[in-house]
Chains A and B, each alone.
Chain A
């Protein structure tokens, strides 16, 4: 059982690492600020989600696991709000040279 859970963790975390990589490559390669913002917030949040899911079986208590999920929810909430704010600020800047 432990073996199986460890395997689950490894698969999820590797997948998470892949999305972190995708986010960073997108951040480097995409042509403008909006698409780069898109790469950063979407891919990295998915990466974090997979890392969190992978770590869940490694936690000692239910409370710790719940807090782990809360971390992800908070990051999701704030990056949703912040990415919109950054995109708007960038757009306003384009309009008023």
Chain B
């Protein structure tokens, strides 16, 4: 198996792991972490595709790689916004519940 396929398959698994966590985990901060795992799986898949595109003396296709750099920075900005939302949610409701009708146990 060549390196690209190996990382491509690993990336597919990362997306699966992240998606599972995103659905199952209840706490929004944990959801953000799971979402980032899923996102990085997509990035690695993209990176593997870039590596397949090696041609013209370049080791990889620079276009997807440039987009990856953009994507990593934007993913950080999106996570920062999500974290700020959670912090605000906790400060104003004392609960991090995303349910429209929080259970009684969620207030301390």
Direct contact of A and B (CB under 8 A): no
Chain B residues with CB under 8 Å of chain A are none
Chain A residues with CB under 8 Å of chain B are none
